[in-house]
Amino acid sequence: MLLDVLYVVIGLILGAVAGFFIAKRYMEKYLKKNPPINEQMIKMMMTQMGRTPSQKQVNQMMSAMKKQL
């Protein structure tokens, strides 16, 4: 009886840990494939702030965003 309960608890813990890592890997792959911000968004944002961005500035911001992931 006690051994059965222990198996269930261990199974739930292992399932939760495995689920966490699978979900984490899935989200990392999804964000790499579909980044939340792209070059056009950066250009539009900088233009709205009153700056005319050069391609070098856009590339620097994109690389900074990729480093955060």
20-61 pLDDT tens trace: 999 999 999 998 888 788 888 989 999 999 988 899 999 998
Phi-psi region for residue 38, left (φ > 0), alpha (ψ -120 to 50) or beta?
Answer: beta
For residue 8, the model assigns a pLDDT of 97
Quote the pTM value: 0.56
Which two three-digit tokens encode residue 17? 């840990």
Q: Domain map of the chain by residue range?
A: 1-34, 37-69
